[in-house]
Amino acid sequence: MTAADYAVSLIEPGMIVGLGTGRAATAFVKALGPKVRAGLDIHGVPTSESTAELARLLGIPLLTLADAPLIDITFDGADEVDPQLRLIKGYGGAMVREMIVAAASKRLIILVGPEKLVPHLGTRGLVPIEVLPFALAPAQRAISRLGYSANIRQQDGKMVITDNHNLILDVSVPPLGQPERLEQDLLAIPGVVGTGLFLGMAESALIDDHGEVRIMSRA
């Protein structure tokens, strides 16, 4: 059984389900589609336009946060998971919508492979943040004053534009001893819409380890 299959087994009829973004979340949505077509009565709330498009193709009925102010359970991936189930997300660029959906959820369950488990957040060296285009240069200067560098995320020679029509800065960091402090410092910068630090939000992680699913719970 994969983590995606295990996640689908946790869904009950009538639930409103948050649908994450990224490779692990895509696998979950693809596993959910056949169950819905077979009669599982649920609605999804997508965290990105790409996830919404995939869900529609698979026949998963969707709601907006206006229609579903409270979500029963959200399944999403992560780029780093530390032993306290603190996360870094956003390598796929959808962290602000993912944060909003997670905050509106009763439960947040993360699907990852063992390579995403780290002893300290920042092990992979980046914390993504979403920034208003107007605030790009001032935000970079403010981050520099904090002692970090921040590069504009680009793809194919063009700046990456989020679904919210903002830009992404990848902040270079060492392994973080106090990720909460960095989160506060980054969110205090005018024009920063959100960060990839998801602290104290995940209930558990389903670790897909070569065909076996291990469950990691927050103490």
CATH of residue 84 = 3.40.50.1360
pTM for this predicted structure: 0.94
- Is 121 within a domain? no
Is the domain of 7 the same as that of 89?
yes
How far, in Å, CA of 219 to CA of 216, rounded? 9
In a domain, 7, yes or no: yes
Can you give the pLDDT at residue 140? 98
Judgement on whether residues 9 and 79 belong to the same structural domain of the protein: yes
Catalytic residues: 98
Q: What is the pLDDT at residue 86?
A: 98
The pLDDT assigned to 110 comes to 98
**131 and 150 inside one domain:** yes
Q: Are residues 176 and 101 in the same domain?
A: no
- What is the structure's pLDDT at 211? 80
Give the C-alpha distances (Å, rounded to integers) separating 192 from 53, 112, 138.
Answer: 27, 27, 10
Does residue 157 sit in the same domain as residue 108?
no
Tokens encoding 144: 């520099």
Using one digit for the tens of pLDDT, what is the confidence trace for 116-125?
999 999 999 9
Q: Would 9 be classed as within a structural domain?
A: yes
pLDDT value at residue 219: 63
Predicted pLDDT of residue 218: 79
- Domain containing residue 190: CATH number: 3.30.70.260
Same structural domain for residues 7 and 102?
yes
What's the pLDDT score for residue 210?
82
Residue 78 lies in a domain: yes
Provide the number of structural domains found in the chain. 2
90 in Cβ contact with 198 (< 8 Å): no
- Tell whether 60 and 108 lie within a shared domain: yes
Q: Which domain holds residue 30?
A: 3-115+199-217
Whether residues 102 and 134 fall in one domain: no
Residues 98 and 205 in one domain: yes
- For the chain, which residues score pLDDT lower than 70? 219
187 and 203 part of one domain: no
Q: Are residues 30 and 7 in the same domain?
A: yes
Residues 75 and 34 in one domain: yes
